[in-house]
Structures are given as C-alpha cells and as structure tokens.
Chain A
C-alpha cells in the first residue's frame, strides 16, 4: 500500500516535472524515467504485457527517438531549444493532462457498477481461442482487426517519414566498429542475446506475457545499437529489401484476414484446428516488420552517432 502510494506520487511528480521543465534534455530523460515508473505501475496492477510494452516501446525506443530528435534540433534549429518556444505548451499541457486525469478518475469512481466487467467474459472464452495468454487471445484472435490496424498505422507512419525525408542526401557513411572498441564488444555480446530473447518473446506471447510488439521493440533496440555502433549500415529508403521487410507484417496480416474471410466466412476467424499456427506465423512476421519500422524511425531522424563520430576527427 505504502509502496503503491509512493509509486503514484513518483509517477505524478515525474509527469509534472516533465511537462513543466524548460530544459528539453531534462524532459527527454524524465520521459524515459516516467516510462520506467509507469511500467512498475502496470506490473503492480498485474498487466505484465503492458509493462513490457511500456518499457520496450515507451521508455526504450521512444527515448532513443527523442534523444535523436533533440540532437537534430540542436544541429538544425538551435533556437528551438530555447524555453520561449514551448513555454505556452508547458503551461497548457499540464492543465489538459490534469483535467483529463480528473475526468477519468471521476468516471472510474462514479460509473455504475451494474455494467458486466469484460474480463470474466474474455477468460471464459480463452480456452476456445488461438492462444492461451488472454492478452494475445484478444489482440490476435477476438479483436485481431485492431492489431491489423495498428501495424497499418506504423506502416503509414514510416511512409510519412520517408515522404518528409525525400530530399535528404544519401545516407552518410556509417561509423566503424574500430572507433569504439568497447561499444563494439558489447554489441557483439548483446545483439545475439537480444535476437534470441525476441524470438523467445514472440513464441512465448501465445502462452504468457510477450508478443510481437514487445519482441519487435527489443529487436529494434538491437538494430538501433547496431546502427549507432556502425555494425549496420542504414538502408536507403528506396531499398527493396527494406520496403519488403517494412510492409511484410501488414501484407501477411491482411492476406490472412482475406484468407479467413473466404475460408471461414468471417474476418480473422481462424480455422478451428490450426489457430495457434496462424497466430504464431502472423506474430513472427509482425515482429520483424515492427523491428524494421522502429529502427527505421531512428535512422530517418538523421542518426546522431554518425555525426558525432564525424566531429571527432
């Protein structure tokens, strides 16, 4: 109880400071800390799937993106780092967030109790689903079209980034591993482990907390590390390999949706016998696509480490 109260205070305090600070770098660091604290909240209320996603996506990948974005601002438009430019937002955002939290709390406290909660009804039907982990059963079976739309959003996002970056010069030469032998050694150890863990998480998603988004974010982390340390040279956005990998998740998922319409007569209703195989196959392709898209977001906000290693010489 005391721990939960302390956690709530910590999360609210971090959020407040994050929204009101005038130092963008501090805001980025606070955002990552906020993500980690929020993940603890999710663990405390038993939502381990969400906690994993929050840590990997919310704190990890988004944190790296924000660090890169700030770096880019510093290089391209340093005046935007000055407080005056976002002071109005710093006043409005906490007020909006506070109002939203207040309304949400009010609704949660005053909503009629007669409404039948969803969880027992879902748990009742999980034995018939294609996955035994209730979260995966919802995400890839009961409401698989939501997940289909989510991967669609990611593909649309990266397409927009590519469109914005149309005029950028060719990808700069990557930093070489010799520049940073210590980092290179860490990458040699950690990337294979990360890939293994991502495969494990994808497979585990059908039974226990895990799944494509968490595994994809992990894999993207490995990709970001390899890009930053020069192990991986960024693909040009028009590279057919990159485009295929990015689109594969959406295509396979959409194809599965079409196939089930013809075979079973309903969108994403899997055949009774092989549902598990369908879910696993979709999740595997999704993992790779999500990883490619997230890592590509990192590249397309022009990669800071390459610039940094250029400055050293």
Chain B
C-alpha cells in the first residue's frame, strides 16, 4: 500500500518535471519558460520529496528533505525573478523600463533563446 503511494507520488513528480522540461523547450519566450521552470519544477520536486519522505526511516532525514525542498523553492523563485528582469532589460535596453518593470511586461515577447 505504502509502496503504491510512493510510486504514485514519484510518477506525479516525474510528470511535472517532464512537463516543465517540455515547456522549457517548446514555449516561445522567456517569461512563459520561467513559468514552466518555477511552477512545474517546484511541484515535481514537491511530489518527489513527499515520496522520499514516506520512504525515509527517520525524522531527521525527513526534515532534511523538507529543508531541501524549501531551499530550492526559494532559489527558483529568486532565479526566476532575476532571469525575468534580465530578460526585460535585454529586450528594452536602457529605455522603456519604468520603476517596477511591470509596464514592459505587457505583450512581452522576449526573443527566444537570447542570453
């Protein structure tokens, strides 16, 4: 029963990682690609961590797994933000960017694969 649950969770995690990767490859611009990475990967990792936490034999290992998950979420969210900002700046150059950078988001299409 437990094994079945673990398998199911791992499969869910794998599905989200796969979906995220497909999105990264297929989506047209920087912002949608970040969306797949930050959202899908966090869910994928969440399911995987949940599965491994069920398998783990001690609470300290579970605590470490959850800590890893939280750290990755924090890091992905920040990286996503930084890449989005860099992408907007790369598109707009020095002008066309207001204080928040939100203005530039409308209709944003940040040429695919620019780095």
Residues of A within 8 A of B (CB): 25, 180, 182-183, 185-186, 189-190, 193, 308, 311-312
Contacts and interface: CB of A to CB of B under 8 A. Distances in A.
Interface stretch (B5-13, B38-46, B75-83): B75-83
A180 B82 CA distance: 9
Contacts of B63: none
A130 B81 CA distance: 47
B89 A312 contact: yes
Interface residues of B, number: 11
B115 interface: yes
B61 to A, nearest CB: 14
B79 to A, nearest CB: 9
Interface in B63-91: 71, 74-75, 77-78, 81-82, 86, 89
11 contacts: A180-B82, A182-B81, A183-B78, A183-B81, A185-B78, A186-B74, A190-B71, A190-B75, A311-B94, A312-B89, A312-B94
A190 B115 contact: no
Contacts of A190: 71, 74-75
Contacts of B86: 308
Contact of B75 (A186, A311, A312): A186
A185 B82 CA distance: 13
Contacts, number: 22
A11 to B, nearest CB: 18
A182 B71 contact: no
Interface string B84-115: 00100100001000000000000000000001
A186 B78 CA distance: 7
Contacts of B78: 182-183, 185-186
A183 B71 CA distance: 13
A189 B115 contact: no
B76 to A, nearest CB: 10
A182 B81 CA distance: 8
Contacts of B94: 311-312
A80 B74 CA distance: 36
A193 B89 contact: no
Contacts of A189: 74
A185 B78 CA distance: 9
Nearest to A311: B94
A168 to B, nearest CB: 26
Contacts of A180: 82
A241 B74 CA distance: 33
B81 A193 contact: no
Contacts of B71: 190, 193
A188 to B, nearest CB: 11
Contacts of A193: 71
A183 B74 contact: no
